[in-house]
Structure formats: C-alpha cells, structure tokens
Structure 1
Amino acid sequence: MNSILIKNAQLLNEGQIQAADVLVKNGYIHSIGQNLNAIADTVIDAKGQYLLPGIIDDQVHFRDPGLTYKADLYSEPRAAVAGGVTTFMEMPNTVPNATTQELLQQKYDTAAQKSLANYSFFMGGTNDNLEEILKTDTRSVCGIKLFMGSSTGNMLVDNAQTLEGIFKQSPMLIATHCEDEATIRANMQRATEQYGDNIPMSAHPEIRNVEACYKSSSMAVELAKKHNARLHILHISTAEELALFSNDVPLEQKRITAEVCVHHLWFDAAQYETLGAQIKCNPAIKEARHKEALFQGLLDNKLDIIATDHAPHTWEEKQATTYKGAPSGLPLVQHSLQVMLAFYQQGKISLERVVEKMCHAPAICFQVEKRGFIREGYWADLVLVDLNQNQTVTKDNIHYKCGWSPLEGQSLPGVVTHTIVSGHLAYQHGNFDESKRGERVLFSR
C-alpha cells in the first residue's frame, strides 16, 4: 500500500485545531507532527485546508440486496466517500431482511467486493428470531436493529415478550426506530376520513406525530433501564423526546444514547409545500420548533451523534401523486458534512463540535476499534476539506444512484478535496480510485 504524506494541514481533532503534518503508512497513521520530512509515495499539500477524521455514519439504507434499482453497495459508498464519510453502518431492511446470520454474512461478502468505504451491518430483529440475534458476533457486527414502529419493509417488532427477551439478553448495542404503530394507524384512519385519497404531504407530521415518537421512545428507554441494556435510539425528531436522555455522564459511560439526523436539523414542516414527498421520511420532519430544540439538545449532549438515515428512492417513486403512494426516505450521505458546515458558517456550532458529533462520538458510542480519531496507530480514515470554496448541489455532482437530492439548488460551504479510507486515497478532486475496497469495521467489546 502506498504511503501518503499530508503537509501543512489544519488538524481538526479532539477539540483542537492545530497546524500539523500527517504520515500514513500501510493503512495506518504512522506519525503526526510539524515539518515531517518523511519520504512518501504521495505528498498532498493541504495548505489552507482542514484535516478531519473520516465521518462515521451509523445509519444508512443502501438497498443491497433486493432493491438495487434504488441504490447498492457500489454506488452509495462512493457517494459517501465523496462527502467525507469513510465508514457506514447499514440497516437490515433489505430484501431479504438480514435477520439470520447467513443473510447478514452475505451482505458483508457483497460489501467486501463492492464498497469503497469501510462498512458494518446491523443484525435485524423480528418477533421470532431471538435465537439468531444471540448468535451475533459482538466484535465484528455494529449492533442489533429493532423497528419498534414499521417503516420501509416488514420488520415491525411489537411482541411484548420478544422485546423483553431482546432487551434482557442482547449481547450488544440495540439500535431502535421508535414510532408507536397503533398511534400511527389511528392517525392515518383519521386522515383518511378527513381527506379520502387526497391526504396532503403536509399531514405527514400529523400522522407520524409527536405522540407516536414519544410513546415508543419512552417504552424503549423503560426496557433498557429495566434490563440495563445498551440502547441507542435513532433519528430523534421531537423536542419532547429530549426529556428521555441525560447529559450528566460522559458518553463512554452512557447506557442510553441518541442520534439526530441532518434532515431533522435542516428542514421543517413548512417545506412540505415546496418539496412535498422529497422530504417525506420516517420519523417525519416536523414543525420548526422541533429542529431548534433538537439543535440545542445536540449542543447540550442529550443527543450524541449526527447521522443521515440515508434512504434513497427513485425520482419516479418520489413523484407519486398520492400521500400513501409516495415512499418515505431521502438521500443525504454525500452532503451531511456540508450541511453541518453550513450550520458552522451560521454560527450555530463550532468545527470542533461537528467533528465530535460526526467522528468521535460514533466511534465511542459503538466502541469502534481504532477509527474516529486522528491518532498515531489508528486506521488512516482522513478527510481534507476546503472551507474557502462553496458547492451548489446539482444533478451533475450527485453520486447517488437515484440521481437526486432534496438539497438541489442549495449552495453549501466546504468542498471535500481528498478522502483517505483505511490508508487508501479513495477520492481526490472529484475522481475515485477504486483499486482497493474499504475494510470491515471491528469493535472493542
């Protein structure tokens, strides 16, 4: 593997910004210092640029296998790498669902052949696969995923006895999608009675409402506390749910953690009028008061991680003329860093906190081995960003297989110029080097 010397960078890591050079050898960070004079196969002059640890996105849907006309484990990791995401954790609601060890391993085998980024996959829980869940290897699998509310796919876990068993016996982190199914069904029935077949997209946050989110999230928290389970609640979308989480201990000591996604910070319900189904997702984007509260919860460390819930559908699918016909989910993994850099430019968050929430915190939360920080001896997952440039999101520079983004037309700050994945210069100035694939992520558990 080629060695890489990055010179004159502004190193953004562990709460500090400092001028430094970084030498990469054999996949790892060999040395960090000023005026390094080492000989390397590739030398990058990073003057005027920030060097970040690679982003770890703990929630993506890359649709492979079974839904590869939307996305796959070749296209979406490329998009991720172009946006500075070097590691992803992918969800089990593919087709077939990854709910057996054999099906889970098939996804790992596919990623080893196709993925430019580092990868891990969640083992899926169902109402009747506890025995399979308990076989999951804690060192080489990121976690167990439970849909405690139905979303894309048919993986709803609503059997009380099953939930008790999983929370009591799970050998590892349990990540949950929390929306109460009974509440959603009742709200849908009311909307159907009111609107018939013409339910407006703006009704989405009324159907998948605050009550549905809070009821399910509070149930998950109660189960976790009862059994001392390691719980991680995904894509928190309401101000009310923040009361369920604490910030009185360091992240390393938390047994219950939470994630917020960039779209719940960026969009609000007023934009259904212009974007419609493009921003239809589960849980729903809600009124503006929620995104403001979520941002404060992020800064207050009640919300621990920033992710995307990247969930692409084709443009044709998103053009469905009825609310019920339009699928939920939006593609974001290429632009999550730039969205957060926009918040930085607005004065809402520091660069140090962006790196903390997108790089360090996922590594700590999931106990990722030797990633998420710029440290000697760690894997070289590195991203160079030029904050002196802006980039307008257009179809010409989108790498998603679906070919569209709800951010199209937005001018976002910062351009990712180089992405190094496990010591491999996978992306530079718009070009990909696919001569090496990403690595399977391991966990220190």
Structure 2
Amino acid sequence: MNEKMTLIKNAKIVNEGTIFSGDILIEGKYIKEIKDSISAKSADINVFDAEGKYVFPGAIDDQVHFREPGLTHKANIETESKAAIAGGITSFIEMPNTNPQTTTIEKLEEKFEIAAKTSFANYSFMFGGTNDNLEEILKLDVNQVAGLKLFLGSSTGNMLVDNPEVLEKIFKSTNMLISVHCEDEGTIKKNFNEHFEKYGDDIPIKCHPIIRSEEACYLSSSKAIELAKKTGARLHVFHLSTGKETNLFTNKIPLKDKKITAEVCIHHLWFSDEDYDKKGTLIKWNPAVKTKKDRDQLWKALLDDRIDVIATDHAPHTIEEKKNVYTSAPSGGPLVQHALPAMLEMHHRGKISLEKIVEKMCHNPAILFQVERRGYVKEGYFADLVLVDLNNPWTVTKENILYKCKWSPFEGTTFKSRITHTFLNGNLVYQNSKFNSVKSAERLTFNR
C-alpha cells in the first residue's frame, strides 16, 4: 500500500540556525525530501502552497500540567493538547503532580493509556520522585519515559523530596535526566509567616515575589547543582525566575555535552512585578514572576545560551479558583496556545530571532531529552511541522481560547503572528482555526 504524500511548496524553512526557501515532501509520517524545488510527479500527491509563510519544526514543550487524572475540572489531556496544537506545540512532556500522583509505574502507564486515546499532540510523561519510591525509579525503561521530576521546594501531597540522603541516592542511582523545581521551603515558610501575621489571608499579590523570593530560588537551585556536580547526575533546572540563578549555568560547551541545563518559561520572559496591579492572581505562579531586572537578565542568559530551553509550565486552574484571596488562590496558568505567538511577538519587538525561537523551543528540547527524530525539519524525521504567518494579527478573546478553563493571562493581547497550520506525524491536523478529526498523536520515544 502506498503511503499518503503531501508536498509543501514555497516555504520559508527555519531550521538549525538558518532560514531558506524550499519545498518539503512528506511521505506517510516522515519528511522524505527537502529541496529548492520539488515537482508533484503524481496526481495523488496533496500539494499545499505555503507562499509567504514560515515553516517551523513543531515545538516540544518540556513542562506542562494537563491535570489528568483527578483534577479534570481544571483541564484534561484532550482539551489542553488540542490548545497546544493550535499554538504550534506538537509534543509535550507532562508532569507527575496529578491525583493520584505519577509515582508508580502502574500510575504512569495509566496516563499513557489516557493519552493514547485522547491526545491531539505527541506525548510523554515525567515520573515523580518522592522520599520513598527509589525502587520504582530504578525499574523505569529510560527509552520510554521522558525523565524524572523532583520538587525540591513547595509541593502538593508527598512529592516534596526533602530528605538529603534520599536525594543524593536518587542523583547517584539514575542516568535519567532529573528535572527539578527549585525553591527553598524553609525560606518560603519564614517569609509567608511574616506576611500572614501582617495581612492575614488577604496578602497583597505584589508580595508574592517577596515571599517566594530570589533567595528561596537561588538557595535551592545552587544546592541542586552542587549535588549534581558531586554525583555526576544529569540535571535540568525548570523555570528559572531570577537573574542571580542564571550565573549558575554555563554557555561554554555544546548542549549535547552539558550535564547541567536550564529552562525559562514564557511568563517569566513576558511579565514582571509591575504587572501584578493589573493582572492580580492571574499571574500568580511558582516560582513567582519577579522584577523587570530579573526579566532582563533572564533574556540575556537565554540569548547567550546559559539558558537552553523555553517552555510553558502550562498549569490551568478555574477562574473561580484564581480569583480567591492570596492564600487560597492557586499558582499557575494556561499557556500552550499562546506561547509561540508570544515569542513571535518578541521577535517583532527585536528581542529574539526566528532561528533562536526554533532553537530554544524545538531543537534544544529534542537534544536535551534525546527525543527520537523530532524537533527539526530534516529528511527522515517525523513530519511535525508548523506554518506561521508573521503578519496576520489577532486578539486573544474568551471566544478563541481553547483551554478548558476558558481564560488566559494574555486575554486582550493582540499578537501580530498566527499559527495557521499544524502537521503532526505527516497529517494536517489543524488549519485556519479548524481541527481535523483524525487523531494522529504518538507516544514520544527516546534515543538513550
């Protein structure tokens, strides 16, 4: 049986630090050929004209919370992966702090089963480390799981790994990439108690970055890095939020050779503490959005390659939950639909090149997690492709938000660029705000 073929003509392809005009021939799930010009030799080939548009590899988001199982009043794998596809994110790695938590192989496999049935985007999951599940960690198949996630600061349930002996044992015992949330619990508790004494439950939101302070972040991330150096573990520090932390990382060696890497999220690149007055708890995240100076230093570290990856930390809550007073309002917000448009907006403002966006959102997550044949526009790779129109403005409104929670911190923002088409494993799954009903998502695999 012949594989279905699609020919994308007249594309401006953004890949591996260059932008070049060319045609892309897709056969089945894969990119068969990339050339200056390819002619359709058969009437069976579906020809698609990308004139005036850029073609990116599908973005790989290495940190999302899709809330399934157990928290599906906020979101689920189906709704959030659909929003991701509309935002040009074709693959995601989801976090373990669901209910129940993903801290046993049985619970991990249950999540894979849900995703196999409902996900619109390619998927994998992190396995959660705790103070007492090292035996389960050691049973994991490293080629089938994205990595290990440890909370070294505040967390729900029993996912806070606060036993130093256990932590060192985990770092020593696994070759898997260990991703960490770094905020020092003792520092946060002390700061919180001081503010609670003064304000009670209704602590002003602008105090959030003072409670979850630079010191709390730096203390925790520097300890994690020290332990990684001591044990030789492969460490990835999630969602840097302070300028001070950026000095803990290097740009002196290629990413593939780095043992200690870092990520920054969209919200820490876009917002600052100046936005709390207007946005309130809608921009309450952990770690907190901090100062304009911190934001500037994060940008500097991203562009000079001390920070390796841009992700979302997509973590939806209902609007009712978010509108509570400070002590009851949960941290986190939805971002997958608007992450790439937000970075393209920063491109329009002269902050970042298209090539750098692709490097940080597509290539680097693939290198870092050793994702098999994704993250590039390359012959032999899966045809996960995103078409971008840089001059097609649109405004984020309740009507066009696809998250289950139906709100966004970007509501009211006008983006100049639009994701017009998304191909997943060779199939056109999204076109001009409409979805193809055929689900073609696959489980990510890893070359380790």
Give the TM-score taking structure 1 as reference length: 0.98
**Where does residue 398 of structure 2 map in the other structure?**
395
Residues 274-293 of structure 1 aligned to structure 2 (within 5 Å): 274-293=278-297
Match of 1:138 among 139, 142, 153: 142
**Where does residue 159 of structure 1 map in the other structure?**
163
**Where does residue 29 of structure 1 map in the other structure?**
31
Match of 1:355 among 355, 358, 368: 358
Give SS of 1:244's match. Answer: coil
Letter in 1 for 2:13: L
Figure out how many residues of one structure are paired with residues of the other and give that number: 444
1:102 aligns with 2:96: no
Checking the alignment, whether the CA contact within 8 Å between 2:425 and 2:440 is kept in structure 1 is no
Letter in 1 for 2:364: A
1:79 aligns with 2:83: yes
- State the alpha-carbon separation in 2 of the partners of residues 125 and 261 from structure 1: 22
Give the TM-score taking structure 2 as reference length: 0.98
1:236 aligns with 2:261: no
Checking the alignment, whether the CA contact within 8 Å between 2:130 and 2:158 is kept in structure 1 is no
Give SS of 2:332's match. Answer: coil
**Where does residue 226 of structure 2 map in the other structure?**
222
Letter in 1 for 2:296: E
- State the alpha-carbon separation in 1 of the partners of residues 175 and 141 from structure 2: 9
After TM superposition, give the deviation of residue 155 of structure 1 in Å.
1.1
After TM superposition, give the deviation of residue 152 of structure 1 in Å.
4.8
**Where does residue 369 of structure 2 map in the other structure?**
366
- State the alpha-carbon separation in 2 of the partners of residues 392 and 15 from structure 1: 30
- CA displacement 1:58-98 (0-9 Å, x = unmatched): 00000000001110010000000000000000000000000
Checking the alignment, whether the CA contact within 8 Å between 2:119 and 2:439 is kept in structure 1 is no
For residues 437 and 66 of structure 1, do their structure 2 counterparts lie closer, same or farther at Cα, with a shift above 3 Å needed? farther
For residues 394 and 209 of structure 1, do their structure 2 counterparts lie closer, same or farther at Cα, with a shift above 3 Å needed? same
**Where does residue 309 of structure 1 map in the other structure?**
313
Checking the alignment, whether the CA contact within 8 Å between 1:53 and 1:374 is kept in structure 2 is yes
- State the alpha-carbon separation in 2 of the partners of residues 351 and 14 from structure 1: 11
- State the alpha-carbon separation in 2 of the partners of residues 265 and 234 from structure 1: 14
Give SS of 1:11's match. Answer: strand
**Where does residue 124 of structure 1 map in the other structure?**
128
- State the alpha-carbon separation in 2 of the partners of residues 355 and 82 from structure 1: 17
Deviates more, 1:412-421 or 1:296-305: 412-421
Letter in 2 for 1:80: A
Give SS of 2:416's match. Answer: strand
- State the alpha-carbon separation in 2 of the partners of residues 328 and 243 from structure 1: 26
Structure 1 residues not aligned, in runs of 5+: none
After TM superposition, give the deviation of residue 153 of structure 1 in Å.
4.9
- State the alpha-carbon separation in 2 of the partners of residues 269 and 245 from structure 1: 24
For residues 154 and 314 of structure 1, do their structure 2 counterparts lie closer, same or farther at Cα, with a shift above 3 Å needed? farther
Checking the alignment, whether the CA contact within 8 Å between 2:195 and 2:203 is kept in structure 1 is yes
Question: What is the percent sequence identity of the aligned residues?
Answer: 57
- CA displacement 1:352-406 (0-9 Å, x = unmatched): 1010000001011111110000110001110000111111111111110000000
Checking the alignment, whether the CA contact within 8 Å between 2:183 and 2:287 is kept in structure 1 is yes
Letter in 1 for 2:48: I
- State the alpha-carbon separation in 2 of the partners of residues 42 and 151 from structure 1: 49
- State the alpha-carbon separation in 2 of the partners of residues 255 and 232 from structure 1: 8
Structure 2 residues not aligned, in runs of 5+: none
